[in-house]
């Protein structure tokens, strides 16, 4: 299957740690990319590869992967981290991208 | 710096055609695979199409295959999405995005995105 599954919503208390997960068979052979999207804005890449953060992304964001599950962890969540988070990876053909359904993160 | 600016969206009747453009700056589209991704109102991201860095291959989501065509003009550093036989379910914000790996012949992650252009299909 080329589908990626994410929890629809997750909440975290301000300053606490939250993990957002992404599951799918394609993740056994491909690393995930993670994107943050705020209302009315384009997605922004926040994590890619094994555990790479693009320039400008705070180091409270980290990534990990095991088997068919990729995770994005925010350590010490801030109010500005609220938004929708999407994972993606390539499918088995390596010619198509697939996205997870997205996780809405609420910082309480 | 890297910028992607989409244009060409608008309201179109079902069955008609539309062409979206994405003008890139700060890099050459000849060095990167380029993608289109769409997002229906209130929904998640859906990958649409990719064209290889050298233009040698194009791949499409099943939902648009046979109706949409991705192309590029290197001289204008511009990516296009030609959309034919549009359906109401094609209504979405369309984003162009750059693949994260230079010269890659496998899709990976998307490191830069445009601001998107809205396509509405309605009679």
Kindly tell me if the per-residue pLDDT of B103 is higher than 90.
Answer: no
Give the mean pLDDT of B66-77: 97
The structure tokens listed for B65 are 């295959």
Give the mean pLDDT of B69-79: 97
DSSP string, chain A: ---BB--SEEEE-TTS-EEEEEE-GGGGTS--EEEEE-TTS--EEEEBTTTB--TT--TTEEEEEETTEEEEEESS--GGG-EEEEEEEE-TTSS-EEEB--EEEEE-
Q: What is the DSSP letter of B35?
A: E
- Confidence at residue B106, expressed as pLDDT on a 0 to 100 scale: 82
The structure tokens listed for A15 are 């300053």
- Confidence at residue B9, expressed as pLDDT on a 0 to 100 scale: 97
Average pLDDT, chain B: 96
Residue A76 to chain B, least CA–CA distance (Å)? 24
Q: Chain A contacts of B116, Cβ < 8 Å?
A: 42
- Confidence at residue B104, expressed as pLDDT on a 0 to 100 scale: 80
- Confidence at residue A92, expressed as pLDDT on a 0 to 100 scale: 82
- Confidence at residue A32, expressed as pLDDT on a 0 to 100 scale: 94
- Confidence at residue B108, expressed as pLDDT on a 0 to 100 scale: 86
pLDDT tens column, A9-33:
999 999 999 999 999 999 999 999 9
Q: State which residues of chain A have pLDDT below 70.
A: 1-2
From B47, B95, B100, residue closest to A96, measured CB to CB:
B47
% of chain B exceeding 70 in pLDDT: 100
Q: Chain A contacts of B46, Cβ < 8 Å?
A: 99
Give the mean pLDDT of B42-67: 96
pLDDT tens column, B31-45:
999 999 999 999 999
Question: 3-state DSSP: chain B helix, strand, coil percent, rounded to 5?
Answer: 5, 55, 40
CB contact under 8 A, A95 and B57: yes
Residue B20 to chain A, least CA–CA distance (Å)? 17
Q: Degrees (nearest 5) of the Cα angle B51, A91, B35?
A: 25
- Confidence at residue A2, expressed as pLDDT on a 0 to 100 scale: 61
Strand pairing report for B117-121 and B10-12: parallel
- Confidence at residue B109, expressed as pLDDT on a 0 to 100 scale: 94
């Amino acid at each position: 299957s080329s589908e990626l599954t994410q929890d629809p919503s997750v909440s975290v208390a301000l300053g606490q740690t939250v993990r957002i997960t992404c599951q799918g068979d394609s993740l056994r052979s491909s690393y995930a990319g993670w994107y943050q999207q705020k209302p009315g804005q384009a997605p922004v890449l926040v994590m890619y590869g094994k555990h790479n953060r693009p320039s400008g992304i705070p180091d409270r964001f980290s990534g990990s992967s095991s088997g068919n599950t990729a995770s994005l962890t925010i350590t010490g969540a801030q109010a500005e981290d609220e938004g929708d988070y999407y994972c993606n990876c390539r499918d088995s053909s390596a010619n198509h991208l697939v996205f997870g359904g997205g996780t809405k993160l609420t910082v309480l | 710096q890297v910028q992607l600016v989409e244009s060409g969206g608008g309201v179109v009747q079902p069955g008609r055609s539309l062409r979206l453009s994405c003008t890139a700056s700060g890099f050459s589209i000849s060095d990167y695979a380029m993608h289109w991704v769409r997002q229906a109102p209130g929904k998640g991201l859906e990958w649409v199409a990719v064209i290889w860095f050298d233009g040698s291959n194009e791949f499409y989501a099943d939902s648009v295959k046979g109706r949409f065509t991705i192309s590029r003009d290197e001289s204008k550093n511009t990516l296009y999405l030609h959309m034919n036989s549009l359906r109401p379910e094609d209504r979405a914000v369309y984003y162009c995005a750059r693949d994260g790996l230079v010269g890659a012949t496998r899709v990976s992650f998307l490191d830069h995105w445009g601001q998107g252009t809205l396509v509405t299909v309605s009679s």
